[in-house]
Structure 1
Amino acid sequence: MSGGQYLIELSGVSKRFGGLDALSGIDLQVKSGEICSIIGPNGAGKTTLFNMISCLLPPSAGSLRFQGEDITGMPPHAMPRRGMARTFQNLAVFKHETVMSNILTGMHAQLNTGIFGAALFWGATRRAEIAAREAAEEIVEFLEIETIRDLPVGTLSYGLQKRVELGRALAMRPRLLLLDEMVSGMNQEETEDIARFILDIREERGITVMMIEHDMGIVMDISDHVAVLNFGRKIADGTPAEVSAHPAVVAAYLGLPEGAVGGQP
């Protein structure tokens, strides 16, 4: 990693759609082992930022580095093998497949078996399949979904489906996990469970987490680092305490001019 410190670095990253500047000149560095939250009002550019980090969108300007490697303009299918996994704001599970089958799909990017080995199911292919199933079982236990492992995902509650999607992302064995509004639509108990899992993912698995989140409770409780976007620009970057007291952040969330905060004209 660059200087042995940052897992991901964005330098002057911008994205333009026709005449719209969705993001402008974003500089952001995330250290290995951090939980970093990206927050901001609707339309601030948060998901566009994630789409560029995961290489679903190329930047119009600027560069991105992951584990010291320049990933600017790389195809998205290259990211899982490099150690990046993602969940999406809208559920993207295979609803007619079982919980275990959904999690096993996340293993595919890490398997290196050939056509003949897969057809014959012997040797390295057999060993890789056994190892993948063992890893999937461990994820099922980690996420406390043993009792539903063989159920079709479409029969589960929304909160459990989101947990399955998280399990599939973990099955990719990422160094960096991108979570896009993971707790959106969840009740308080489900939100607390996800917060606990995110902390355990960092502490027990050593995975760096970046998350887009509107729930300020979970952001302030578990984040090490918060970056705030508004109208496509980064307006604050720091600890949760520093960001929550920043005048520009208060103004953005209240819909006021920055100078109006704190009684200023």
Structure 2
Amino acid sequence: MKAPTPILSIRDLSKRFGGVQALSGVTVDIRQNEIASFIGPNGAGKTTIFNMICRIYDPTSGTISFNGKDLLRHRPHHLAGLGIGRTFQNLALFRHGTVVENLLVGMHAHLKSGVLDGALFLGRTAREEAQAREEVERIIEFLEIEEIRNQPVAMLPYGLQKRVELGRALATRPKLLLLDEMVSGMNQEETEDIARFVLDLRDELNMTVIMIEHDMNVVLDISDTVHVLNFGVPIASGTPAEVAGNPTVIEAYLGAAHA
């Protein structure tokens, strides 16, 4: 039986910054409806991969295709329209806006009304606004943040701000969602909530998720596949059990105590 076409295909991807080889020869396939994680020590090249997928960096060599299309032909502002969403390790929210307002920002790429329609709030604009607000309410319900929907983001604790960041990414209607250290700085309860939401994205919304994550409990508990980098070089890929038992990974990342 022929294997399904991957939603994201990375081939021999490399990136050099001056004299520093940040990434070298990465080849990875991400399947539809999969939770995949990139792990590795700080400086291993994980965020560099995200930044090339998101077209912030151009690769020195290699290819990236998304749904069979050459992603390198697109600019960063095209990604939401293509179906790629992202959260950031450092929060990138509008702190003085409410939760609802921040989520509505995520809908922007899918609104088609022109300047005149918007200024006069004509029929098409009104319909789009109503649809966007309905979709935002569904995201609010999914993330269980109904009680804070009208609060300014700056007034929220860090864990809830991270949940709003996730919600804004969901508002872009992604087929592929990139999560950059989503549980960093969270307590155990907040971490478990985010892990549950990520599983629900896959199981209920049929979304493909790629995570960069240092919390190995989260990685091993919810990932379908794990890809390990060390100094920009791929050293292992496989299921969580396979990667956790790989001697090269244990030496390079997990530490000798796990041996």
SS in 2 for 1:90: coil
SS in 1 for 2:132: helix
Q: How far does the alpha carbon of each residue in 1:233-263 deviate from its partner, in whole angstroms, 9 at most, with x for none? A: 110011001111111101102567xxxx97x
Partner of 1:120: 120
| Contact persistence 2:4–2:31 (CA under 8 A) | no
Mapping of residues 30-69 of structure 1, within 5 Å: 30-69=30-69
Q: How far does the alpha carbon of each residue in 1:202-232 deviate from its partner, in whole angstroms, 9 at most, with x for none? A: 1111110000000010101100010000000
Mapping of residues 140-179 of structure 1, within 5 Å: 140-179=140-179
Partner of 2:22: 22
| Contact persistence 2:22–2:45 (CA under 8 A) | yes
SS in 1 for 2:236: strand
| 1:82–1:106 distance in 2 versus 1, CA, 3 Å | same
SS in 2 for 1:6: coil
**Unaligned stretches of 5+ in structure 1?**
none
Looking at structure 2, the residues matched to 152 and 122 of structure 1 have their Cα atoms a distance apart, in angstroms, of 29
| 1:242–1:255 distance in 2 versus 1, CA, 3 Å | closer
Looking at structure 2, the residues matched to 216 and 137 of structure 1 have their Cα atoms a distance apart, in angstroms, of 32
SS in 2 for 1:178: strand
Looking at structure 2, the residues matched to 243 and 46 of structure 1 have their Cα atoms a distance apart, in angstroms, of 16
| Contact persistence 1:55–1:73 (CA under 8 A) | no
| 1:4–1:114 distance in 2 versus 1, CA, 3 Å | farther
Looking at structure 1, the residues matched to 6 and 185 of structure 2 have their Cα atoms a distance apart, in angstroms, of 32
Q: Give 1:38's aligned amino acid.
A: F
Number of positions where the alignment pairs a residue of Structure 1 with one of Structure 2: 257
SS in 1 for 2:7: strand
| Contact persistence 2:26–2:233 (CA under 8 A) | yes
**Unaligned stretches of 5+ in structure 2?**
none
Q: Give 1:241's aligned amino acid.
A: A
Looking at structure 2, the residues matched to 34 and 3 of structure 1 have their Cα atoms a distance apart, in angstroms, of 14
SS in 2 for 1:227: strand
Q: Which runs of 4+ in 1 moved over 4 A?
A: none
SS in 1 for 2:10: strand
| Contact persistence 1:99–1:153 (CA under 8 A) | yes
Percent sequence identity over aligned pairs: 59
Using the size of structure 2 for normalisation, the TM-score is 0.96
Partner of 1:78: 78
| Contact persistence 1:59–1:73 (CA under 8 A) | no
Looking at structure 2, the residues matched to 180 and 43 of structure 1 have their Cα atoms a distance apart, in angstroms, of 14
- Per-residue deviation, 1:4: 4.3
Q: Does 1:129 align with 2:129?
A: yes
Partner of 1:139: 139
Looking at structure 2, the residues matched to 21 and 248 of structure 1 have their Cα atoms a distance apart, in angstroms, of 21
Q: Give 1:46's aligned amino acid.
A: K
Using the size of structure 1 for normalisation, the TM-score is 0.94
| Contact persistence 1:35–1:222 (CA under 8 A) | yes
Q: Does 1:187 align with 2:187?
A: yes
Mapping of residues 194-205 of structure 1, within 5 Å: 194-205=194-205
CA RMSD of aligned residues (A): 1.5
| 1:83–1:133 distance in 2 versus 1, CA, 3 Å | same
Q: How far does the alpha carbon of each residue in 1:69-89 deviate from its partner, in whole angstroms, 9 at most, with x for none? A: 001152111110000000011
Looking at structure 1, the residues matched to 54 and 29 of structure 2 have their Cα atoms a distance apart, in angstroms, of 15
Looking at structure 2, the residues matched to 97 and 125 of structure 1 have their Cα atoms a distance apart, in angstroms, of 21
| Contact persistence 1:12–1:24 (CA under 8 A) | yes
| Contact persistence 1:33–1:206 (CA under 8 A) | yes
Partner of 2:103: 103
Looking at structure 2, the residues matched to 36 and 195 of structure 1 have their Cα atoms a distance apart, in angstroms, of 13
